[in-house]
Amino acid sequence: MNTSTKNLEQLINEPYKYGFSTNIKIETIEKGLNEEIIHLISSKKEEPSFMLEFRLKAFEKWKKMNEPEWSFLNYNKPNYQEIRYYSAPTKKKK
């Protein structure tokens, strides 16, 4: 790991020191993406069925795609199963 990466990680992981904070309760789902997660996200967002079908079709197409090989660009390929695809503040009870 190079020095700038170490410095960035250190900066990201240090506690917030400026005094302003908002305590918000959030709901976050597990990492990864699969059909079950897509169904869960769609239900949490209270989407109509056509939107769920659109998402599922897009997910099937995405699984068959290959990531492009960019010329003269080196980077670590993302691990899409290590991403959280839904996180939102919890709704206030009425």
The tens digit of pLDDT for each residue in 32-78 reads 999 999 999 999 999 999 999 999 999 999 999 998 887 788 888 88
Residue 28: in which H helix or E strand, if any?
A: strand 26-28
Report the sign of the C-alpha dihedral through residues 36, 40, 46, 47, in that order.
negative
- Whether pTM exceeds 0.85: no
Domain ranges of the chain: 30-65+76-88
Instruction: Label residue 55 exposed, middle or buried (CB < 10 Å: 0-12, 13-18, 19+).
Output: middle
The tens digit of pLDDT for each residue in 41-54 reads 999 999 999 999 99
